[in-house]
Amino acid sequence: MTAIAVSLILISCPLIGNSAANAASPVPPFTIDSKGWIHFTNTLVNSLGLINPTTLTLNGKLSSDGACVFSSAKYFVKNGQSGYSEETAFNPSTCQETVVAGGLTPAGQAILNSNTMTGASQASPNSSTLGSSVITPAITTAYADFEKVSYVDPLDITITSLVSNLNWQSNGTAITGVVATPESYNFNWDGWSNSPIGTTLSGYPTWPGFTAAQYSQTFNNTDFEAVIVALYGEAGYALCGFNSNPATFYLSPFVEGNAQGYYSYSNSNSVSGGCSDLVHFRENHGPGFSS
């Protein structure tokens, strides 16, 4: 039995008319209000000590396959600064989400790193090197920043993530070399069928004032809904919204650096299919490399 299946089975137990199952079941890590908002209670955002946290309500766009697609604005950041954002509520009927975002301290980053499951990253043959990889300290400065996006299941397990890592060198007025690398991850032991990683590079060397890397990938999973429906029949099917489609996760992180050492980031994401309303989105950006 898969970890995602177990996560959702535990949540579905309170819906089954069985007092023994109900007594043994943990409190579901979400609540649903009268307006259809799903409020996630297994979020990290309150334990990270964010700097100047802000709560936003974002409007998504409904795609042809019924998924709510959320695309963030492009945010500019001074090199060396980290940040974090997390979906805390989602309304599938109105295609809206509530997100809390703020700056990340080193202590907060350490908590986030310790909470992130690792060890199942896919190889990334998409690494791109543009220009010289040799740094002359007296002439150039090296910079490195990343944008990471992920989906988390109801038991706080990261099930999919994708990172855009960008390293560049600059003499202060023009970029002289770039290495861009994606890092893709999905949780082990599940029935995944993923697309190749899409790559879009822009800026340097055609425009030496900036460099940018955007990666995208679609993750498909067929395991956990089939287990729930097999075990619980119509009750399990109801938990998954009477939707028999595989769960599909789309992630697309973007990061851009300029010749003065500043960077910017943005992302696009969506999830659809059975049981997909029960997962939520996290984002992290900052200096260095992430996996």
Predicted local confidence at residue 175, as pLDDT: 96
Residues 6+ apart with CB under 8 A from 110: none
d(CA 80, CA 104): 11
Predicted local confidence at residue 142, as pLDDT: 95
Predicted local confidence at residue 12, as pLDDT: 40
Provide the token pair at 70. Answer: 């959320």
Show the low-confidence residues of the chain (pLDDT under 50): 1-26, 118-123, 132-136, 138
5 CB neighbour count, 10 Å cutoff? 22
Predicted local confidence at residue 224, as pLDDT: 64
Which residues share a beta bridge with 158?
152
Domain boundaries, the chain: 3-287
Predicted local confidence at residue 56, as pLDDT: 95
Compute CA distances 67 → 70, 200, 214, 276, whole Å: 10, 23, 21, 10
Predicted local confidence at residue 39, as pLDDT: 94
CB 256 within 8 A of CB 165: no
Express each pLDDT in 103-115 by its tens digit. Answer: 999 999 889 888 7
Predicted local confidence at residue 2, as pLDDT: 41
Provide the token pair at 123. Answer: 């190889």
Half-sphere exposure (Cβ direction) of 284: Cα atoms closer than 13 Å = 27
